Amino acid sequence: MDRDRREFLVSALAAAPLLVPRSAWGANDRLSYGLIGAGGRGRYLQQNFNKLGAQCVAVADVFEPNLQAGLKAAPDAQGYVDYHDLLAQTSLDAVVVATPDHQHCPMLLAALDAKKDVYLEKPMSHSLAESQRMIAAVRKTPQIVQIGMQRRSAPSAIKAKEIVDSGILGKITLVKPMWNWNVSKPLDNSPLRGKLDWQRFLGAAIRTRSARPCVTGRRPRIRARKFPTSSARSSNTKSSWPPGR
């Protein structure tokens, strides 16, 4: 069963939307994962992973509306405000991290310390120094870590590479990339609807003036817990807001 689960992470989670069908799984081989960052991107990944038979058993997010939305898609999952608490859940085979860039390094390091396999959304890190530290940390463990560059697994991208590799285009001397995807929206600085743990959202960003590129996977010390009603919006937030707390 362990082998089946690891093969699922290698071949399935590696391609995000292009995963192994539920029919390929045995009754006792269902992979359990935790979602860290239940914003729009996190819930998109959650939806696809669930469709393919993986089970979301935990959700962590510092923004209450995101947490509730993530739990709605996984009613039996446990909700957390602190992702360290999620990582302490022994039933997890892996975690999906879909948080803002500055959280990627500390969350990956913490997940490795907790011996969890990881699907980490792009971009991998907030700096080259962080990337080097993350790569070194992964290489010291047996854990599987996949960066969410799912476009490299898209059928159109794979086909394009096959065409180039075949030589049918001859010697290529010029490549002109284009990106015609206009998804910009007006800036919205209106008050957030719901509670936000601002200190946990900032996380390692509080220490950006330090010489260290990112904090370790250990739980940060937080003196005060404030929930501002107004703040710049973010597409994905981290950790979570457990009901009743």
Q: What is the SS3 string spanning 137-162?
A: HHHCCCCCEEEECHHHHCHHHHHHHH
pLDDT given for residue 99 in this prediction: 96
* Residues with Cβ within 8 Å of residue 114, at least 6 apart in sequence: 87, 88, 217
pLDDT given for residue 37 in this prediction: 97
pLDDT in tens, 81-101: 999 999 999 989 999 999 999
Residue 153: pLDDT above 60?
yes
Domain presence at residue 169: no
Domain CATH code at residue 102: 3.40.50.720
Mean pLDDT, rounded, for 169-188: 85
Residue 18: pLDDT above 60?
no
Structural domain count of the chain: 1
Residue 206 backbone class (left: φ over 0; alpha: ψ -120 to 50; beta: rest):
alpha
Domain presence at residue 74: yes
Contact, 52 vs 228, CB < 8 A? no
Which domain covers residue 137, as residue numbers? 2-151
pLDDT given for residue 2 in this prediction: 55
- In angstroms, the CA 125 to CA 33 distance is 22
